[in-house]
Each structure stands twice: as C-alpha cells, then as structure tokens.
C-alpha cells in the first residue's frame, strides 16, 4: 500500500532537563468535533485547540503543578477531566476551560481516566492500588475497586452500562461488575508488560456496540474478547513489527486504528480482519482519537507533536460514521457538576476534598452523608424515568439487564423516526416525518397520523401491507389497502390524496416517490417518480401540489397529476416538512450543533400557488431539546413541539414571532408523555403514552386526548393565572382574525363572517378582562385594574367596569374609569363637538357636585354614537341600595345581566333607528341613539334629547306638572 506522510505541529514542549526523553501525550476530540484537547506528561498545561481554525493559538489551562498524564471528556462535551503526576484529578467547564473543582486526590500519579456513557460517573486510577468510581453529581466516591498488582493504565466503561474493564502495566485485564464491584473475569498476562516506561502504556477499548473488548496482544497484534464470557474471538495481525501501544475504534465500530512501537499507524477493516492503510511517523504515536462526525483521525507522538489524518477511509468504502450503533447515543442531559450541592459541599469540593475521610488511605472512602444519599436517590429516580441506563450507584443486575434490553429495543425502534429521543445528541437531528412512529419488528407502525386519518404499514416477507383509515368515516372515502413492494418509510395524507416515499436501498433500489389521489375522473391517476443519486428525506401535501425534499437539499414540487413544477435549493439539510392548502413549511439545519448541544434550525414558509416565500427565520427550540412534531393547526397556524414539551405557534405579532401556547411540564405526570397529533385555536390533540413508551401502538387503537392550552406564565401575585392565560389566548386569536380580515379585504372578498368572529372574540376578551379587574381590585392592585380597563373593546364593558368598582366602594377608581370613558368618547367623536360638553345650568344652583358629574355623563351619552365594535345597547337594571359585594361571585352576579353577556345582539346600522321618547312619540330617524337607564334619587329625566333639555331639567323637577300632555301644544303654551 502507498505510504503517505502526515505533517505534525508542536503542541507541548519537553520539560527542561528531560534531555528529549519521550513522554506520554494525550489527544481527544469533543463530540461536535469543534475542538481538540492535548496534554503531555512533561507539561502541566492543557491545550484546547480550535479544530476549525488550526492556525489560531490554543486556549491553555494551567492548574496542575506537574505533567498531565490522562484526559477524559464527558459524553455531552460540557466537562473536561484531567489527571496528573501531582496526584490530583480536576474538572473544568468545556470548552471555556473554567476550573470547577478538584474532584479527588491520590497518593501517587494518575494514569487513566474514563467517563461512563451518561456522564454520571468518572473512573480514575494510576499507580495507587485502587480504582475510584466518582459520582459526578456531588463528587462523592461511590466505590473503590481493588485487584490489580501493577499501575492501572487503561480504563473503559462498557457502552451498555454493565461492566468496567481495566488494564495494568503488567498486561492483566479485569472485568468488573458495576452494581456490586465484583470481579467477573481476570485475564493475566494477555498484553505486553510495559514495565516502568510510562511513555507507552497498555490501553483497552470496547467496541461502540459494547459486544467486543479490544486489547493489545503479545504477538504484535490486537486481540478481541467476548463481552460476557471474556473468551478470545479473533485477532488483528498485520505488519506491525513491534508491540501495539495504542488502539482506537471508529465511531461506527467498522474500523480500528492501531499504533505500534515500530512508529507505524495501521487502519484495519475489523470485519475483514485486514489492514487497509498505514502511515509511518518519525516518533511513536502514543495516543489517537477518531473524529466523531467525520472521516479523520487525530494523532499525537511522544514529543508532543500532533496532527489530523484526513480522509482515513477511502471514499470507495463505507464511511467511519455511517451506521453508528444506537448504544452510542447519550440518553442524558450530561453532567450536573455539583449544581445541586449545598454551599457546604461546594466549599469542600473547591478545597479539593483532601480531607475527605478515607481518601488518605488509597481511596477507601466511608459512607457518604445523608444529604448526598438523598440527592443521589433523587437523581437516580429522575434518570430512571428518562431511560438512562447508568446511575451514580448501579442498580441490581436483574433490573439492569432488563432495563438495558428494553432501552436497546426502544433505541432500535427509533431508527425510522430519528428524532424521538429526548436527549441532547452530539450530532444534528436526523430528518423525520411528522406523525410517524419507529420501525418495530413484527408490529404494525404508523407512517402518518394526523387530524385527517392515519396510514399504517407492517413489513412482511419481501413486501409491506399498507392501510389508510379516516377518523371521520362519513367524510373520508374508503381507500382499499395496498401491497407495498418499495418499502415505504414515510407518508402524508390530506383530504385529496396520500403520498409515499422510501430511501434508496443500494444501487438497484432507487428512492421512490408515489402519489395516490382519492378522487379523480381519470382511471390511471396514480403516479410515481424515482431519484438517482439522491433520496427523499421528507414529504408533504397541499391543495393541488405534492412536495418532496431530498438528500441533496432540493425541494421538488409536483402537481397532483405528476407534473414536475418547481425545483428549489434549500439552505441546509432538511429536518421535516408540512403542508396546508397553498402553504408549505420546511425546517432545515442552518448550522452544526452548538457546543452546548443545542440544535440550530431554520423555518421557511413557501406559498406554492403564488411561488413566493411568506416567511423565513430561526425556529426556536428549548435549550437541549429536539423537534418532535411540526405542522399546521386547523386554522392554518404553523406550530412546533419539542422534546421538552413546549408547543409554539407562529403569529403575526411583533412582525412575526413564535408564541408558546402549551407546556407539558405544567400538566403531565411523571409517567406520561404526549405524542402530538394536531391542534386548533382552543385545544391540543395528542395521544398520552405511559412511560417508558414514547409513541402509540397501532393496536389497540390509540385514544385521542384533548388538552387545554396552558401558556408557561409566571406565578401571578393576584392568583389569576387561568384568567391571564385566557387573556393571552384571546389576544392571539383576535390578532389572527384581524390578519385574515386584512388579507380577505385586499382580495376584494366579503369580510362579514370574519367581523362576526372578531366581535365574538372581543366580547369574550372583555368578559375575561372584567374578571381580571375584579381580581385586581380584591388584591388591591388598582394601577393594574386601570391598565386593564383601557384594553376593553366595547363601551358597554367600560360602563360595566365602572359599575363593578362602584359596587366594590372604590370611588377614586370609579372616577378614573369615568375619565377614561370620557376621553375615549371625545377621541372618537372628534374635537369639533367638544363644545357640546360645556354644560351650563344656571337654574340648578343647588345641585350637588355628584349630580353635576352625573349630568355631564348623560350629556356625553347624547352625542352621536361612537364608532365602537359593538352597539351601545344597555339593558335596564334596577339598582339595589345598600347592596354590598363581598366576593367576585357576587360581582359577577350583579354585573353579568348587563355586562358580561355582551355580544348577544349586534346592530349593524345604528344611525337610522327609530326611537321612542318618554311620552311615546315616534321620532324621525337621526344621528342620536338614546340610552335609558335607571337613576338613583337624583330627579333627572330618564331621556335627554339635547343640551336645551338639560338646561331646563332643574326647573322641570321643582315645578308641578302644569304642561299639557299633548306634545303638539308645547309651542302654544310656551
């Protein structure tokens, strides 16, 4: 084979006085492949290199007093651990490098560190006798394992969470059972004896699927041992002239890199047991690390020089990251790193825990305190519910094995969906189809489940059987079942038809897209398309169009008849897509995951009929979550639901924003999860799954549940979270109706029905605001009540608020409400009629100030009806003197007859209504609408025509009725 040369650059210099002696150096990637971390046993500094900008200077951590001999990084890449010749193990935040704590100390140098898969446990060992298992939650030592006679140089946690494998400098390998700390197997002298030369150490490594343990052999080879029996399976033997000193599995376990004392690095195809490539170096390569999300290998030699070997695997062979085993997915939120500790524990950790009992005697730790035990138990229960397979204190073997098998089956079932797991993964989320469930061998699964119906399939020998069912059998057509020879894995359904697609399966079986209409005048209306060099990742349906998004980031639009209408390039890999009438919404990745593991996604809305882009922007997700469901509501509002249980809808508020409408954490039980199906403006439709299930089964038929929207609001100081929730929902609904009215009006269509809907929502909103005002008054939040009354839409509601605060004996607030009403009427009438408010009544000099204010209010009422969204129609209500309102229920009882039942009647034309005065005379149509209401004992007439009547009101009250009753004689008498 061709031998290539890889250029290395210096990361660490030898210590002064070493005379160029070799040192053991470490290198590792973070899970996002954004950084490389290097260290050397001759240098107390740790270097964090930017893998994207290799020429930039590294970030250097200087906290050890002597050379760094071991490095380990947590599975979610948030924490870095280092061990040193100075006997300490330190933890840092990653990638920032902020020092966290001295997690433990030894009496001799440390040689090996390893995190378990969930990041809840750190194993540390070295020249001391014991291996410490450290609980990363609170820093306590869960167990000390003793059995090695020499220095422990290699540690590896089983990816499946049951075993720990360790290796010493004398070539002895021990299998440890984690739950009990017992020794299962001891393999003596199976690896070379390193002696006292710690520039080269014995290491071992589990395969990514956890089924095989790789150990350097005695014949310049690598020996594979069985996971459970520790029996030798086979060996990799090639052209290494001296012993193998380091080995590393590729992310998918198909390849392995080995370095030897002969200064060679060989790349192996493990299945074929043969080497496929190699490189020769000037110095011995003492450490290697495969790139987690790429075809590259990082190496470092004994002089502190490192480099990255790009394109390790030829392009003609399977990629080293293709088909990564599910056991490598990290089902945890990562390390908590003492976040839940009390101040006393934090102070002890910051001090390095040097004085912890038992740590001065080779790690023999005493029992932890009660606080730690209680906290550990709490976190164990939480992880047990989340599906984690490793706890800070391992459970019993029977439970553990069953739990592992159950989890493994669940993980295998998620291959089709790709995004249903609730954990933060180290790579970008795979594409998925909304409403689909994972593949389950021997069971029927959902290809699609939405508000229209469902599509189910079950794989059989060489083909699949597909059935289409509608929830409302009276509306949907009866569609015969279909035999699927393509192996469709995704589908979508609407009222007009269904679309199916499958990924490519080799060179002969190309990716296929098929559309089946439900109604067509033609006999052969079904059509299909095949794709060469690309495969379909997501499909969607709308009114008269079919969409498919492929692996080449191409959006392909087809008509219902199969005409290829548009091909559009997207900005990134597709995550999912959904269609509604003329609109198609597509979610794509806009970049790799952030260092925190957060997904970065973008949402684009296309209008297919107009060939326009309606919206494009960032799709918000809860930190540490993934997208689980994406689609449109029944009214056409775009919605998303993430793995943290937060439902959002896209509204036109603030120029287009996502509003959280539902938080599952507020309502769900600990043993439940919600599988979203759809929503409307008032309810969320979902299927409630009992833990540990995350998705429904086809049989028995799942039950659809309706949940009320619950916005994640802060705890209100007036105890009215329910009313505030209703207030925000009504506001969002009203905003959507107004947006529709604008669009319909621009199109020249009738908006009468939408106006009725808007009026009903305004009436409901006013009723909610009145109740909020009552709650504010009862809680003495008068300023907030004043803010609320300004939000009322109907004049009738404002008068109801005045009556409400009057009944509550809040005269100052009632006066403010009156002023707000007057300002509104003046603003809507206009300044030209302001002079009508100058009321002069020289005859009524004895009228009190309260009666004068009442007259002024009546004068305002005689003005032309303001252009409000509802008519000024007030029902008579007899006032009850001496009535006291002691509760909000009583307030509602008094106010409801005339205020809270607004919206029952709407008059569209108020300007030409005929009205009758007190004497029964029919007036001519005019611009004044008279409002009649019961008055207290003020003596004013019940109806007022104009300012002249007001002027003579006082005299009419004091004089006996001497006028003729016939109104036609008024002028004669006068």
DSSP string, 542-611: ETTEEEEEETTSEEEEEETT--EEEEEE-SS-EEEEEEETTEEEEEEE-SSPPTT----EEEEEEETTTT
Q: Is the pLDDT higher at 944 or at 247? A: 247
59 contacts 101 by C-beta, under 8 angstroms: no
State the average pLDDT over residues 385-409: 40
pLDDT confidence of residue 480:
82
Q: Which two tokens stand for residue 929?
A: 């609408």
Instruction: Say if residue 903's pLDDT is above 70.
Output: no
β partners of residue 659: 649
Residue 835: C-alpha distances to residues 301, 830, 840, 950 (Å): 94, 11, 11, 15
The pTM for the full model equals 0.47
Rounded to whole angstroms, the Cα distance separating 645 from 762 reads: 30
pLDDT confidence of residue 830:
65
Instruction: Say if residue 446's pLDDT is above 50.
Output: yes
pLDDT confidence of residue 414:
40
The secondary structure of residue 967, as a DSSP letter, is: G
704 contacts 696 by C-beta, under 8 angstroms: no
Instruction: Say if residue 408's pLDDT is above 50.
Output: no
589 contacts 575 by C-beta, under 8 angstroms: yes
pLDDT confidence of residue 519:
83
Task: Convert the pLDDT of each residue in 693-711 to its tens digit.
Answer: 888 999 888 988 999 888 8
pLDDT confidence of residue 507:
57
828 contacts 936 by C-beta, under 8 angstroms: no
Instruction: Say if residue 238's pLDDT is above 70.
Output: yes
CA geometry: angle at 737 spanning 734 and 740, to 5°?
Answer: 155
Rounded to whole angstroms, the Cα distance separating 250 from 229 reads: 24
β partners of residue 483: 465
With a CB cutoff of 8 Å and minimum separation 6, the contacts of 815 are none
Q: Which helix (H) or strand (E) holds 330?
A: none
CA geometry: angle at 266 spanning 235 and 271, to 5°?
Answer: 45
Lowest mean per-residue pLDDT among 191-195, 553-557, 714-718, 967-971: 967-971
Rounded to whole angstroms, the Cα distance separating 134 from 145 reads: 11
Q: 51: pLDDT confidence band, cut at 50, 70 and 90?
A: confident
Instruction: Say if residue 489's pLDDT is above 50.
Output: yes
State the average pLDDT over residues 542-571: 94
CA geometry: angle at 435 spanning 433 and 441, to 5°?
Answer: 85
Rounded to whole angstroms, the Cα distance separating 768 from 791 reads: 11
State the average pLDDT over residues 407-428: 44
pLDDT confidence of residue 462:
66
Rg, C-alpha atoms of the chain: 38
Rounded to whole angstroms, the Cα distance separating 930 from 943 reads: 7
Instruction: Say if residue 73's pLDDT is above 70.
Output: yes
- Helices then strands, counting H and E runs in the chain, come out as 13, 51
506 three-class SS: coil
Give the closest residue to 83 by CA, choosing from 155, 8, 164, 150: 155
Instruction: Say if residue 547's pLDDT is above 90.
Output: yes
Q: Is the pLDDT higher at 249 or at 487? A: 249
Burial class (CB in 10 A: 0-12, 13-18, 19+), 525: middle
Give the closest residue to 62 by CA, choosing from 37, 82, 45, 50: 45
Cα dihedral 741/744/745/747 (nearest 10): 160
State the average pLDDT over residues 874-892: 38
The secondary structure of residue 150, as a DSSP letter, is: S
Rounded to whole angstroms, the Cα distance separating 583 from 541 reads: 9
Q: Is the pLDDT higher at 87 or at 480? A: 87
Task: Convert the pLDDT of each residue in 767-791 to its tens digit.
Answer: 999 999 999 999 899 999 999 999 9
Q: Which helix (H) or strand (E) holds 403?
A: helix 397-413
372 three-class SS: helix
Give the closest residue to 200 by CA, choosing from 330, 24, 70: 24
Q: Which two tokens stand for residue 855?
A: 């007259």
Helices 752-778, 888-895: axis angle to 10 degrees equals 140
Q: Backbone dihedral region of 19: left (phi > 0), alpha (psi from -120 to 50 degrees) or beta? A: left
State the average pLDDT over residues 821-848: 57
User: How confident is the prediction for the chain on average, in pLDDT?
Assistant: 77
Q: Is the pLDDT higher at 351 or at 243? A: 243
Q: Is the pLDDT higher at 508 or at 866? A: 508
Instruction: Say if residue 402's pLDDT is above 50.
Output: no
Report the sign of the C-alpha dihedral through residues 923, 926, 932, 935, in that order.
negative
Q: Which two tokens stand for residue 299?
A: 């190496």
Q: 658: pLDDT confidence band, cut at 50, 70 and 90?
A: very high
562 contacts 527 by C-beta, under 8 angstroms: yes
pLDDT confidence of residue 198:
77
pLDDT confidence of residue 692:
79
Residues in the chain: 974
Rounded to whole angstroms, the Cα distance separating 640 from 629 reads: 6
Give the number of C-alpha atoms closer than 13 A to the C-alpha of residue 255, restricted to the C-beta side.
Answer: 27
Q: What percent of the chain has pLDDT over 70?
A: 73
Instruction: Say if residue 575's pLDDT is above 70.
Output: yes
Rounded to whole angstroms, the Cα distance separating 551 from 538 reads: 9
Q: Which residue has the tokens 């069953």?
A: 402
pLDDT confidence of residue 873:
37
Task: Convert the pLDDT of each residue in 671-698 to its tens digit.
Answer: 788 999 999 888 899 999 987 788 899 9
Report the sign of the C-alpha dihedral through residues 890, 892, 897, 899, in that order.
positive
Q: Backbone dihedral region of 97: left (phi > 0), alpha (psi from -120 to 50 degrees) or beta? A: left
Task: Convert the pLDDT of each residue in 917-972 to its tens digit.
Answer: 333 333 333 333 333 333 333 333 333 344 444 344 444 444 444 444 444 333 33
Rounded to whole angstroms, the Cα distance separating 188 from 806 reads: 92
Q: Is the pLDDT higher at 831 or at 669? A: 669
State the average pLDDT over residues 541-551: 95
Instruction: Say if residue 601's pLDDT is above 90.
Output: yes
The secondary structure of residue 178, as a DSSP letter, is: T
Q: Which residue has the tokens 């009322």?
A: 792
């Amino acid at each position: 084979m061709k031998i290539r040369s890889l250029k290395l650059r210096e990361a660490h210099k030898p210590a002064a006085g070493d005379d160029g002696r070799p040192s053991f150096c470490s290198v590792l990637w973070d899970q996002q492949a954004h950084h490389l971390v290097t260290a050397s046993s001759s240098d107390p500094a740790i270097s964090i290199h930017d893998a994207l900008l290799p020429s930039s200077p590294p970030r250097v951590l200087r906290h050890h007093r002597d050379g760094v001999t071991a490095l380990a990084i947590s599975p979610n890449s948030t924490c870095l651990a280092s061990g040193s010749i100075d006997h300490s193990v330190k933890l840092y935040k990653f990638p920032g490098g902020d020092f966290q704590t001295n997690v433990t100390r030894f009496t001799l140098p440390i040689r090996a560190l390893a995190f378990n898969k969930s990041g809840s446990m750190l194993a540390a060992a070295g020249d001391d006798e014991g291996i410490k298992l450290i609980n990363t939650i609170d820093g306590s030592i869960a167990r000390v394992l003793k059995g090695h006679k020499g220095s422990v140089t290699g540690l590896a946690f089983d990816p499946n969470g049951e075993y720990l494998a360790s290796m010493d400098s004398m070539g002895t390998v021990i299998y440890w059972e984690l739950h009990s700390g017992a020794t299962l197997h001891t393999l003596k002298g199976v690896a070379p004896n390193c002696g006292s030369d710690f520039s080269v150490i014995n290491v071992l490594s589990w395969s990514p699927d956890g089924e095989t343990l790789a150990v350097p052999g005695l014949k310049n080879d690598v020996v594979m041992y069985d996971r459970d029996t520790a029996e030798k399976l086979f060996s990799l033997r090639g052209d290494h002239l001296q012993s193998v000193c380091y080995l590393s599995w590729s992310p998918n376990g198909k390849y392995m890199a080995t370095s030897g004392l002969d200064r060679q690095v060989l790349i192996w195809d493990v299945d074929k047991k043969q080497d496929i490539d190699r490189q020769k170096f000037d110095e011995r390569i003492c450490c290697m690390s495969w790139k987690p999300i790429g075809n590259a290998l990082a190496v470092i030699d004994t002089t502190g020089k490192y480099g990255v070997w790009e394109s390790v695997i030829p392009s003609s062979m399977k990629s080293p990251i293709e088909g990564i085993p599910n056991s490598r997915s990290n089902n945890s939120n990562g390390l908590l790193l003492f976040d839940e500790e009390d101040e006393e524990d934090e102070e002890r950790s910051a001090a390095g825990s040097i004085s912890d009992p038992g740590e001065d005697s080779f790690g023999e730790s005493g029992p932890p305190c009660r606080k730690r035990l209680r906290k550990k138990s709490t976190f164990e229960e939480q992880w047990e519910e989340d599906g984690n397979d490793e706890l800070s204190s391992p459970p019993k073997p029977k439970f553990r094995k069953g739990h592992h098998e159950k989890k493994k089956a669940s993980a295998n079932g998620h291959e089709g969906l790709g995004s249903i797991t609730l954990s933060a993964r180290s790579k970008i989320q795979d594409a998925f189809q909304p409403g689909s469930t994972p593949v389950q061998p021997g069971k029927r699964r959902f290809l699609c489940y939405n508000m229209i119906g469902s599509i189910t399939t079950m794989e059989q020998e060489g083909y699949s059987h597909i059935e289409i069912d509608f929830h409302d059998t009276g509306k949907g057509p009866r569609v015969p079942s279909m035999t699927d020879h393509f192996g469709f894995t995704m589908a979508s359904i609407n009222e007009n038809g269904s679309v199916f697609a499958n990924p490519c399966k080799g060179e002969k079986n190309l990716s296929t897209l098929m559309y089946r209409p439900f109604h067509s005048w033609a006999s052969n209306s079904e059509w299909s398309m095949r794709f060469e060099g690309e495969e379909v990742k997501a499909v969607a349906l709308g009114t008269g169009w079919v969409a498919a998004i492929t692996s080449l980031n191409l959006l392909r639009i087809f008509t219902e008849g199969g005409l290829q209408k548009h091909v559009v390039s997207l900005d990134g890999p597709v995550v999912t897509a959904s269609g509604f009438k003329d609109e198609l919404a597509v979610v794509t990745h806009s970049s790799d995951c952030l260092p925190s593991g957060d997904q970065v996604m973008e949402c684009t809305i296309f209008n297919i009929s107009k060939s326009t882009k309606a919206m494009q922007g960032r799709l918000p997700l809860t930190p540490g979550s993934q997208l689980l469901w994406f689609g449109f509501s029944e009214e056409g509002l775009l919605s998303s639901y993430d793995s943290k249980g937060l439902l959002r809808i896209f509204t036109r508020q603030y120029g287009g924003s996502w509003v959280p409408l539902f938080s599952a954490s507020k309502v769900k039980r600990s043993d439940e999860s919600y599988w979203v199906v759809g929503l409307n403006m008032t309810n969320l439709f979902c299927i409630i799954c009992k833990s540990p299930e995350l998705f429904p089964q086809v049989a028995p038929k799942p039950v659809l549940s309706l949940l009320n929207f619950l916005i994640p609001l802060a705890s209100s100081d007036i105890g009215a979270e329910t009313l505030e929730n209703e207030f925000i929902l009504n506001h969002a609904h009203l905003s959507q109706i107004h947006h529709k009215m604008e669009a319909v009006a621009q199109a020249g269509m009738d908006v009468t029905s939408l106006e009725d809907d808007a009026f009903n929502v305004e009436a409901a909103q006013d009723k909610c605001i009145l109740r909020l005002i009552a709650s504010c008054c009862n809680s003495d939040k008068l300023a907030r009540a004043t803010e609320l009354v300004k939000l009322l839409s109907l004049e009738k509601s404002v008068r109801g608020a005045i009556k409400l605060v009057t009944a509550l004996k809040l005269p100052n607030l009632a006066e403010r409400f009156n002023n707000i009403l007057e300002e509104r009427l003046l603003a809507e009438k206009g300044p030209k009629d302001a002079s009508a408010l100058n009321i002069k009544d020289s005859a009524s000099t004895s009228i009190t100030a309260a009666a004068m204010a009442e007259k002024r209010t009546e004068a305002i009422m005689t003005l032309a009806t303001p252009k409000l969204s509802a008519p000024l129609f007030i029902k008579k209500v007899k006032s009850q003197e001496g009535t006291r309102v002691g509760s909000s229920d009583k307030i509602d009882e008094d106010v409801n007859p005339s205020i809270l039942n607004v919206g029952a009647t709407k008059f569209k034309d108020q300007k030409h209504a005929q009205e009758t005065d007190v004497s029964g005379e029919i007036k001519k149509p005019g611009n004044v609408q008279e409002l009649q209401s019961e008055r207290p004992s003020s003596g004013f007439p019940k109806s007022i025509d104009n300012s002249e009547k007001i002027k003579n009101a006082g005299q009419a009250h004091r004089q006996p009725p001497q006028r003729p009753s016939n109104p036609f004689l008024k002028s004669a008498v006068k």
